[in-house]
Structure 1
Amino acid sequence: MKTIKKVMLIDDDQINNFVCENIIKNENFAEQVVSFEWAEDALSYLQDQAQKPDQAFPELIFLDINMPGMDGWQFIKEYKKLPEHLTSHCCLFMLSSAVDRKDIITAKNMLEVKEFFSKPLSSEILNIIKEEYI
Structure 2
Amino acid sequence: MHTLRKVVLIDDDQINNFVCETIIKSENFAETVVCYEWAEQALQNLKATAQEAPAEFPDLIFLDINMPGMDGWRFLEEYRELPEEVTRKCCLFMLSSAVDREDIICAKQHSEVKDFFSKPLSPEILHYIREDYVL
Structure-1-length-normalised TM-score: 0.97
Partner residue in 2 for 1:52 = 52
The structure in which a higher percent of residues are helix is 2
RMSD: 1.1
Do residues 68 (structure 1) and 105 (structure 2) align? no
Aligned to 1:32: 32
Deviation at 1:52, TM superposition (A): 1.8
**1:18 aligns to 2:18 (yes or no):** yes
Q: Which residue identity lines up with residue 33 of structure 2 in the other structure?
A: V
Distance in 2 (CA, whole Å) between partners of 1:128 and 1:53 is: 29
Alpha-carbon separation, structure 1, partners of 2:66 and 2:6: 23
Question: 2: distance between equivalents of 1:38 and 1:132?
Answer: 29
| Residue aligned with 1:62, SS | strand
Q: Distance in 1 between matches of 2:29 and 2:2?
A: 10
1:86 paired residue number: 86
Letter of the aligned partner of 1:32 in structure 2? T
Q: Which runs of 5+ in 2 are unaligned?
A: none
In the comparison of the two structures, how many residue pairs are matched?
134
How far has the Cα of 1:54 moved from its partner?
6.5
> Residues of 1 paired with 2:34 and 2:119: CA distance?
18
